[in-house]
């Protein structure tokens, strides 16, 4: 059997062994190997020690009101208006977008600088004439209408005196 330490691909055999996750057949083979390989035996001893040291580190129990606090937060979120929930995006998710957005803004500003926005072009000369003609016609028609109205008014004012 090749020494697992000398091969990176098989070093997980030793890790699995010390984690007690290696199947019995492989464990037996590895133990036989370690009896004659001081390098692997040393690795196992060191790894066993680390494993036991880590075993001693127990995490404190979860506080009893963990669920209650969580449900309170869920309820509070559910009561928020939809637009608040809409913008509840994890900040971490936006972090990579911030420099991208800044770069995009700079490019856009540069583009605007190079291509200044101009006021809509004046209509072509033919169009101007057409508009002017129509406007002049409108004015002329209005003046005609006003004159007609004045004539009607003067006629109406003359009629009563005639009848009297």
Please tell me whether residue 12 binds another protein under the rule CB under 8 A: yes
Please tell me whether residue 110 binds another protein under the rule CB under 8 A: no
Residue count, binding to another protein (CB under 8 A): 31
Q: Rounded distance, CA 104 to CA 35, Å?
A: 64
User: Under rule CB under 8 A, which residues in 76-95 are in contact with another protein?
Assistant: 77, 88, 90, 92
Q: Rounded distance, CA 13 to CA 81, Å?
A: 55
Please tell me whether residue 51 binds another protein under the rule CB under 8 A: yes
> Which residue do the tokens 């190997």 mark?
33
Please tell me whether residue 49 binds another protein under the rule CB under 8 A: yes
Taking the complex as a whole, the smallest distance from the CB of residue 87 to another protein amounts, in Å, to 13
Q: Rounded distance, CA 49 to CA 112, Å?
A: 66
* Residues engaged in binding another protein (CB under 8 A): 8, 11-12, 15, 19, 21, 46-47, 49-51, 53-54, 56-63, 66-67, 69-70, 73-74, 77, 88, 90, 92
């Amino acid at each position: 059997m090749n020494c697992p330490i000398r091969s990176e691909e098989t070093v997980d055999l030793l890790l699995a062994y010390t984690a007690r996750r290696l199947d019995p057949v492989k464990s037996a083979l590895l133990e036989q190997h370690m009896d004659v390989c001081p390098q692997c035996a040393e690795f196992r001893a060191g790894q066993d020690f680390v494993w036991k040291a880590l075993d001693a580190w127990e995490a404190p129990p979860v506080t009893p009101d963990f669920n209650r606090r969580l449900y309170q937060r869920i309820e509070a979120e559910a009561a928020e208006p939809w637009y608040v929930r809409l913008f509840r995006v994890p900040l971490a998710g936006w972090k990579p977008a911030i420099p991208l957005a800044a770069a995009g803004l700079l490019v856009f500003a540069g583009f605007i600088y190079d291509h200044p926005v101009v006021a809509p072009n004046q209509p072509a000369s033919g169009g101007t004439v057409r508009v002017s003609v129509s406007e002049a016609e409108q004015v002329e028609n209005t003046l005609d209408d006003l004159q007609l109205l004045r004539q009607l008014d003067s006629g109406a004012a003359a009629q009563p005196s005639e009848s009297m």
